[in-house]
Amino acid sequence: METSPAGNKGPRAADPGRRTLLQRWVQWLAAAAGVLFLYPLLRFTAFRVAPKPRLIEVPAPLPLSGVHTGHDFILFGTKEGATAVSRVCTHLGCRINYQQDKQYIECPCHQSRFTPAGVRIAGPAQKNLPTYEVTLKKDGDGRVTAYVVQL
């Protein structure tokens, strides 16, 4: 066995480089483990990403009734513009329908009723229907070509 000129450490004279490399690897692994542990915790507690709004385009003109029933919303075309309300009942979440002859929205499950503006009239539902923003797409002549509902 050889001894180094500096002392009696022998082949360990090259170890500080290897030791430093191992320490850095351990530090990186600890940091990665910390991130992997904290990420779900932070997502669960505070840092919720706002969902991206969905834009649904309904081509104009609307039917003669002035009402378009989509999967998630009911769109009412008026002279002033358009309004849209959710199709999910605020009682227990059934899908609601517009009653053209009675001029109100009714839930088939427990018969909650709402105005076309989404205001609760009767029934077990206690809240009004959520409303959605509707933007009108117009051509160069000012005619409405489509209704864009932002869910």
Tell me: does residue 146 bind ligand FES (CB under 6 A): no
Tell me: does residue 105 bind ligand FES (CB under 6 A): no
Compute the least distance from the CB of residue 53 to ligand FES, in Å.
25
Which residues does 72 contact at the CB level (< 8 Å), separation at least 6?
A: 56, 86, 87, 88, 151
Position 19: which residue type?
R
Tell me: does residue 107 bind ligand FES (CB under 6 A): yes
Q: What are the phi and psi torsion angles at 100 (to 5°)?
A: -60, -45
Taking the C-alpha atoms of residue 65 and residue 85, their distance in angstroms, rounded to an integer, is 16
Piece of the chain touching ligand FES by CB under 6 A; list 26-34, 61-69, 71-79, 107-115: 107-115
**Cβ distance to ligand FES smaller for residue 62 or 88:** 88
Tell me: does residue 151 bind ligand FES (CB under 6 A): no
Which residues does 23 contact at the CB level (< 8 Å), separation at least 6?
A: none
Which residues does 107 contact at the CB level (< 8 Å), separation at least 6?
A: 89, 91, 94, 96, 113, 123, 125
Tell me: does residue 66 bind ligand FES (CB under 6 A): no
69-98 positions binding ligand FES, by CB under 6 A? 89, 91-92, 94
Taking the C-alpha atoms of residue 72 and residue 151, their distance in angstroms, rounded to an integer, is 8
**Cβ distance to ligand FES smaller for residue 58 or 107:** 107
Compute the least distance from the CB of residue 141 to ligand FES, in Å.
42
Binder of ligand FES out of 58, 74, 125, 134 (CB under 6 A): 125
**Cβ distance to ligand FES smaller for residue 74 or 89:** 89
